[in-house]
Structure 1
Amino acid sequence: MILSPSLLSADCGTLAETLGTLQSAGVKWVHWDVMDGHFVPNITFGQHVIKGLRPASGLFFDVHLMIDRPERYLADFKAAGADMLVVHVESTVHLQRTLAEIRRLGMKAGAALNPATPLSSLDYVMDDVDMVLVMSVNPGFGGQKFLPVTLRKVAELRAKLDAAGRTDCLIQVDGGVNLENTGALVEAGADVLVSGSAFFGHPPFDERLAAFMAAAAR
């Protein structure tokens, strides 16, 4: 299991220091929630913030674009230092083209599904994704309560990917992830878990990471 702490819940005034502390604690990925105030009712980080902080960190930058028409900014986020770009299937008309362009630019490509979006929306892009993000809350704000139906959705997605020969495709879960549901999510088939307040609210980070990994092992 990979834990990708969401910087949405970090102290924005000390992001550079936080990235260094996360790396020293043994964290490998960090999750950037990019919101535009249109696709979701909130505004957060943009490509300029990520670009400014890229030199401060050797972490894998997992960038989640909760924005309308993300295809307009793919090259900008590549230039900013994103390692993976995740776009919502609901946010772009030409999903396959967008995913293919992310890969062409040299990044990993992910597709995100809102809670009410069916898995069938992935039927014709199964070969174009390196990761599928299953939202376990309706996106826009941190600290929301986990939707239990996510466990069934993750299990069904894992079976769908395996049947398509995509055992290499990662499944990520974002929203309300904590120590109590980590084990069940991993058992259902999740590979990458995003945690915000349940991680950053409980320092020190090395001990909190160890607690998540122990929960995943159980």
Structure 2
Amino acid sequence: MRVAGSLWSVPPGEQLDTVAHLASRGLSRLHWDASDGLFAAAGGFSAEHARELTLLGGLDAEAHLMVSDPFAEVDAWTDFCDVIYLHAEVDEWPRAADRISRRGSRPGLAVRLESSVESLPRDMPMLCMSITPGQAGSVFDRRVLPRVRRLRELSPDRSLSVDGGVTRSLVADLAEAGVESIVVGTDLVAADGAQRWGDVLRPIH
């Protein structure tokens, strides 16, 4: 299981030290959220701040854009993220995905728990939400597990990630369902989080 760390719940003054600490314990990838307050509750990071922390930490990065107009946002994120997730519920995602590809990064699709997955493209990385987008710190919703199994049936080779409320105790269930990578925030950045996740943290390539 591959882990991408989220700093959403880390106070700004502690973020750089947290990145350094997690990197020293084996984390190799950061997950950056950006929300515009329209598609989801406002929060997350600006591309400029995320880029600074990524470069200072020397880690790989991916972005999750919870925004109503992703096309206007993607250029800044492609400067330092190799994968950028757009929400399938946003009408303009295909145009933004094309822009991401043209700038040398890989577009992926994020999908809410309530959204159908049957007609989604089968050749794009998928980020399955296990909480309501923008509600960091929420409890993991187990309805995501059968959705992941269905996506794996539809496309056995697709990259599948889960984001929201993931704790160390859920890793076995997520792996059994077919998840390849997970976004972990609160449970990883807690005081003993790096120790609790130490046997799971692996480089992502």
Task: Give yes or no for TM over 0.5.
Answer: yes
CA offsets per residue over residues 151-170 of structure 1, 9 Å max, x none? 100111111112xxxx1x31
Residue type at the aligned position of 2:192: P
3-state DSSP of counterpart to 1:65? strand
RCO greater where, 1 or 2, for CA within 8 Å and sep 6 or more? Answer: 2
Output the CA distance in 2 between the equivalents of 1:152 and 1:82: 29
Which residue in 1 is equivalent to 2:115?
Answer: 117
Per-residue deviation, 1:36:
1.1
Q: In the comparison of the two structures, how many residue pairs are matched?
A: 201
Following TM superposition, the consecutive aligned residue runs of length 4 or more in structure 1 with deviations greater than 4 angstroms are: none
Which residue in 2 is equivalent to 1:160?
Answer: 154
Give the unaligned 5+ runs of structure 1.
214-218
Residue type at the aligned position of 1:24: S
Per-residue deviation, 1:135:
0.3
Per-residue deviation, 1:187:
0.6
3-state DSSP of counterpart to 2:118? helix
3-state DSSP of counterpart to 2:131? coil
Output the CA distance in 1 between the equivalents of 2:185 and 2:53: 19
Any conservation in 1 of the 2:25–2:198 contact (CA below 8 Å)? Answer: no
3-state DSSP of counterpart to 1:18? helix
Which residue in 1 is equivalent to 2:70?
Answer: 70
Per-residue deviation, 1:212:
4.1
Q: 1:133 aligns with which of 111, 127, 137?
A: 127
3-state DSSP of counterpart to 1:27? coil
TM-score (norm 2): 0.91
Any conservation in 2 of the 1:30–1:59 contact (CA below 8 Å)? Answer: yes
Any conservation in 2 of the 1:31–1:64 contact (CA below 8 Å)? Answer: yes
Corresponding position: 1:150 with 2:111: no
Output the CA distance in 2 between the equivalents of 1:136 and 1:73: 24
Greater helix percent: which structure? 1
Q: 2:93 aligns with which of 95, 113, 120?
A: 95
